[in-house]
Structure 1
């Protein structure tokens, strides 16, 4: 997954800072529509774990809600708008302006959602992220389970004995960014050294590029080494191109 960079084709808003926050131990927030506004919010810093910011959240494991309001620049109209969450431990659901735009499980990797169709250009936008960090045998860290337990798991779920503390929250920055309708979504570089023991070894560099929306057409790959640069033509078919 590519990290969003600010340049002449892509714009980026860093949503780090203060968000609204609320615990949801009874798991009523989704039914009551907290994605449109929290019932009793407090202010929390993002990125950070909720366990380290309030006394009553130190040992909390369960459902929580984060909410942020912002304006999206009108100059972004016509582009695709993506929301990138660097880390939401452990499982997350995301709403934009009351519309569910996606979910993700796994707190150790980032995820990106295309939120273009949910963005409104007049007035503020509301981003709501529901996060829960319950211990389960299929998660990291794995805790003991109530009822039937897999062999080898502890018997005191979900108290205190597990591999490491299951911090919950938005642990990395959240970004809103724009990309052109046709854009690069992924790049993979593979290198091979043919004769590593030679005085002047040679090798091969293969670059695979993935473009959005099944793009077919031409592109350019610029390889730069110091002051030297080489341009290689890319021929995209159904969104993929490879150069060696």
Structure 2
């Protein structure tokens, strides 16, 4: 799998008459999302970002805005599958690639993927996103309880699959008779005869064949220390796709913790020991970046939580992936 990061500079325009430009039934593909539209006077902005922080004139603006940029996709073969992965756009997003509508998504804090297979060309391409954060179009209550930012506020990545590749890798840990087990499963795109998958974690490794474009592996009796707030041990799992000669074609590396959690007699037990949850409600809002959470800001917040003795946090909406990773690290 090849990836192209689309973070960085985008062209930006606030649409002050969306009923005519964006939601005009006589114009199914809005003019402003076409690759050849003149964007010379559009504002240059940074993605991830929220438009309330782009300029003072957008401080309290709720409406429809258009984001647009070009990018180089490299060589795109006829068989290639491609998708755009958006980690967060608030609130309603319509995505266009090279002037064609590719898909849409509603809700502002969940990751979504748009299939753009067949819409890319080799070399230069164009993507445009119409973002609508008007309260009237949301399914949330009119009174949010926090500020209604608008924009592409998390990462944007293009994924191109044109050769044998791992995909949708999932892991699951369990404890049986005092022994830890890890299961890894996933898909293999463009799988061929003789392909195999190898998994390695905590000094244990195993391998298996690819069957019907999928794999499932088990690592038994892993010599690990259980994850806990007092000792947040994480282990790296390496998953490799190999050809019949043992050559590595693709690889995924993820970090994971081993722990059990269940309710016993009305009490939450972590690793078979009762745990008292101590936490706060966390709604992120930065004076400088709004919804955009940098890793430095995440680490600062979690450090403050730990200093208060917290071992849990409640959020109103799905957080950025980096926030969960930082929580895993800090316990």
TM-score above 0.5, yes or no: yes
Aligned partner of 2:15 among 6, 9, 24: 24
* Aligned CA distance change for structure 1 residues 162 and 229 (closer, same or farther; 3 Å): closer
With normalisation by structure 1, the TM-score equals 0.73
1:233 aligns with 2:202: no
Is the 2:208–2:215 Cα contact (8 Å) retained in structure 1?
no
* Aligned CA distance change for structure 1 residues 52 and 83 (closer, same or farther; 3 Å): same
Is the 1:234–1:243 Cα contact (8 Å) retained in structure 2?
no
Aligned partner of 1:172 among 141, 154, 163: 154
Counterpart in the other structure of 1:242? 216
Report 1:50-199 matches (<5 A).
Answer: 50-74=51-75, 76-77=76-77, 79-121=80-122, 124-135=124-135, 139=139, 142-144=140-142, 161-195=143-177
Supply the RMSD in Å over aligned alpha carbons: 2.6
| CA distance in 2 between partners of 1:137 and 1:64 (Å) | 14
Aligned length: 207
Is the 2:197–2:215 Cα contact (8 Å) retained in structure 1?
no
Q: Which has the higher contact order (CA 8 A, sep 6+)?
A: 1
Is the 1:15–1:174 Cα contact (8 Å) retained in structure 2?
yes
| CA distance in 2 between partners of 1:69 and 1:202 (Å) | 52
1:223 aligns with 2:221: no
Tell me the SS of whatever aligns to 1:34.
Answer: helix
Counterpart in the other structure of 1:15? 6
Tell me the SS of whatever aligns to 1:48.
Answer: coil
Deviations 1:110-157 (A, max 9, x none): 2222323111225x3211011111225964xx333xxxxxxxxxxxxx
Tell me the SS of whatever aligns to 1:172.
Answer: coil
Q: Which runs of 5+ in 2 are unaligned?
A: 219-331
Counterpart in the other structure of 1:149? none
| CA distance in 2 between partners of 1:181 and 1:29 (Å) | 40
The alpha carbon displacement at 1:66 in A equals: 0.3
Deviations 1:64-89 (A, max 9, x none): 10000122212x43533322222111
| CA distance in 1 between partners of 2:38 and 2:211 (Å) | 46
